[in-house]
């Protein structure tokens, strides 16, 4: 089970936590120095480097999967906005995409992004705008069927205005949710990042209509000073009928 690293020097009792301090270099903004210092002292950043993940975000999906168990051997997974690829790395291992777990079903991981992403063992990477017409059909063709999991760690480019950024990421999450309705198998799971800020009501209502359970979670790997949280919707109810209602 993924545990939150302490980031402490445990070689001796009573020793103080060791931190890297960064001086502000000429020409570098104070905010950049603070970001660099936080990165250098972040235990998840250090752990990602040690374990070969492409970023600390890998531990967010690990922790969510430890709780909700949606990345199971044999599952077909779509990662929207997959760059730099940490979530695909986790998914490929957990769904047994490389067939390393003897006797277990072999899964499929499909990563899509607007930019080219370096290949990941066990994952198939594509350059694709998931909002483009026909994107859902392309994904189902690549998968050879529908998906069991659609996940997204996407965030809209920051404007510097908190409420604007909140609305942008909610809109992006809603678009990802509608995409999942087109590609998910009945019983499937949707996982996406959102930002707390008061505009999540319609998204929550939408997901509760289409899934049997909807949870809002802030995993330990999510920084405490961040407003991000993750929605985990399980038990996709399936396609709408001709009247536009979800089948019972």
Q: Which amino acids are annotated catalytic?
A: 193
Q: How far apart are CA 180 and CA 143, in angstroms?
A: 14
**Residue 87 labelled as part of a binding site:** yes
Buried b (16+ CB within 10 A) or exposed e, 43-62: bbbebbeeeebbbbbbbbbb
Please state the φ and ψ torsions of residue 79, each to the nearest 5 degrees. Answer: -110, 110
118 is in an annotated binding site: no
CA-to-CA dists, residue 9 to 6, 13, 213, angstroms:
9, 9, 41
Q: Which residue has the tokens 């103080």?
A: 16
Confirm whether residue 113 is marked as ligand binding: yes
Residue 54 in contact with residue 119, Cβ under 8 Å? Answer: no
- In terms of phi and psi (left: phi > 0; alpha: psi -120 to 50; beta: otherwise), the region of 160 is left
| Length, in residues, of the chain | 248
The answer on whether 136 is annotated among ligand-binding residues is no
CA 233, CA 211: separation in Å to the nearest integer? Answer: 6
Report the candidate in 195, 162, 217, 220 with the shortest Cα–Cα distance to residue 42: 220
* 226's tokens: 């961040």
CB atoms within 10 A of CB 192: 25
Q: Is 188 annotated as a binding residue?
A: no
* Structure-token pair, residue 140: 């189902």
- Binding-site residues: 85, 87, 113, 129, 153
- Binding-site residues for S-adenosyl-L-methionine: 85, 87, 113, 129, 153
């Amino acid at each position: 089970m993924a545990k939150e690293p302490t980031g402490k020097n445990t070689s001796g009792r009573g020793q103080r936590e060791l931190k890297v301090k960064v001086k502000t270099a000429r020409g570098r903004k104070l905010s950049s120095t603070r970001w660099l210092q936080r990165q250098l002292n972040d235990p998840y950043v250090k752990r990602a480097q040690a374990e070969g993940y492409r970023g600390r975000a890998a531990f967010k999906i690990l922790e969510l999967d430890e709780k909700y168990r949606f990345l199971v051997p044999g599952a077909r997974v779509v990662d929207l906005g997959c760059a730099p690829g940490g979530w695909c790395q986790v998914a490929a291992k957990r769904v047994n995409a490389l067939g390393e777990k003897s006797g277990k079903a072999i899964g499929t991981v499909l990563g899509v992004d607007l930019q080219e992403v370096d290949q990941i063992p066990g994952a198939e990477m594509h350059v694709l705008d998931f909002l483009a017409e026909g994107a859902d059909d392309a994904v189902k063709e690549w998968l050879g069927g529908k998906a069991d999991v659609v996940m997204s760690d996407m965030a809209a480019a920051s404007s510097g205005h908190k409420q604007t950024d909140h609305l942008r990421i909610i809109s992006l999450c809603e678009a990802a949710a509608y995409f999942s309705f087109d590609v998910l198998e009945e019983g499937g799971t949707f996982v996406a990042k959102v930002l707390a800020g008061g505009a999540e009501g319609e998204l929550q209502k939408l997901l509760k209509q289409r899934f049997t359970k909807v949870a809002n979670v802030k995993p330990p790997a999510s920084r405490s000073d961040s407003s991000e949280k993750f929605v985990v919707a399980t038990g996709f109810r399936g396609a709408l009928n001709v009247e536009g209602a979800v089948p019972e």
